Amino acid sequence: MKSIRNAIYEGADQRSSLIDLEIPDNYNGKLLLFAHGYMGFKDWGAWNLMQAHFSKLGYAFCKFNFSHNGGTIINGIDFPDLEAFSRNTYSYEVLDLLAVLDHLEKELNPLPEIHLIGHSRGGGIVLLCAQDHRVRSIITLAAISSISKRFSDQKMIEQWEAEGIRYHRNQRTLQDMPHRFEQVLDFRKNADQLNIQKACQQLQKPTLIIHGAQDTSVPVSEGEDLSEWLNSSLQLIPDTDHVFGAKQPWTNDELPAKLLEACHLIERFLA
C-alpha cells in the first residue's frame, strides 16, 4: 500500500495546502478525489473512515484541504488562519481542484480513472470542474446547486459591501469566520464560469446525486435542481442530515450508518 498523508500541493494564489493519497495493494486503477465543504477540511468527521472504506475495496483515494479554507500546512484541522479564510473565493476553490488534478498527474503514471466526490459547497466545485478531460464521473453529497443563491439577500449584500467584511459564527469552534466582500466581487466577475446550472446542462458524463432527506443546511430542492439539470435521478437517504450522521470529531471506529448507506450507493454507481 502507498499512503501519503499531509503532503503539500500548491493551490490558488500560490498558497500551499495539504493533500492525502492512498493507493491500496488491491488497487483497481480507479481513484476517488474528494472535495470538502464550507468550513470543512479533509480530516473532518468521518471522511478518513470513508477513505478507508473505499481503499479496502481497491480504490485509490485522495482528499485535500482547499488552499484558503483557514488551515495551514502546520495545522490542517479547524481554522488557525482566519486571514486566509477571509480571502477565499469560489474561483479559488475551482483553481485548487484543478491544481490537485495537476498534482496527481505529476505523481501518478499512468493517471488513473478519476471520479470526483464533493460534499456541500465542494459538490458545486466538482460540478464546475467536471468537464476536465481527466475526470470520468461526478458524485455529489448534499451539494449546492447555485452560488448566486448565496448572494441573493440584497440587504445583507449592501451591508457587507458597506462594511467590507462579514462574519459567520462557527457554532462548533465558536470562531467568527470572516468573509471579505471580494468574494462577492469575484463571483460577479466570474459569474459565467461559476454557473453550476450551466455546467450541469453541458455535462455529458455519469453523475450520482445523493442528498439527506432532512438536510437543513442545503435544502433537498437544490438536489432536485441538480437532478433536473443533469437528467440524473436524485438518491435521497431518509432520516439523515447534511453530514449523513457524522460530526467533528468522530470518535467511533465505524462509519455513521447513513454515511455508510451513501458509500454503498457510490459503490453501485462505480460498478
- By the 8 A CB rule, do 115 and 183 touch? no
Count of CB atoms situated within 10 Å of the CB of 228? 14
- What pLDDT is attached to residue 1? 85
In a domain, 127, yes or no: yes
Short-list 137, 139, 95, CA closest to 262: 139
Range of the domain at 146: 2-150+194-270
List pLDDT tens digits, range 49-104: 999 999 999 999 999 999 999 999 999 999 999 999 999 999 999 999 999 999 99
In a domain, 159, yes or no: no
Residue 10 has pLDDT above 90, yes or no: yes
In a domain, 224, yes or no: yes
| pTM tops 0.75 | yes
Query: How many structural domains compose the chain?
Result: 1
List pLDDT tens digits, range 247-264: 999 999 999 999 999 999
Count of CA atoms in the C-beta half-sphere (13 A) of 29 = 4
Grid coordinates in use for 187? 463571483
What's the burial of 88, exposed, middle or buried (CB within 10 Å: 0-12/13-18/19+)? Answer: buried
List pLDDT tens digits, range 192-226: 999 999 999 999 999 999 999 999 999 999 999 99
In a domain, 178, yes or no: no
Identify whether 110 is preceded by a cis peptide bond (ω within 30 of 0): yes
In a domain, 77, yes or no: yes
Determine the average pLDDT of the residues in 161-180. 98
Short-list 120, 124, 130, 92, CA closest to 196: 124
Coil, strand or helix: which one is 239?
A: coil
DSSP assignment of 41-84, as one string? Answer: -TTSTTHHHHHHHHHHTT-EEEEE--TTSS--SS--SS-S-HHH
Grid coordinates in use for 84? 486566509
Longest C-alpha distance within the chain, in Å? 56
In a domain, 213, yes or no: yes
> CATH code at 115?
3.40.50.1820
List pLDDT tens digits, range 229-247: 999 999 999 999 999 999 9
Residue 47 has pLDDT above 90, yes or no: yes
List pLDDT tens digits, range 214-223: 999 999 999 9
In a domain, 139, yes or no: yes
In a domain, 187, yes or no: no
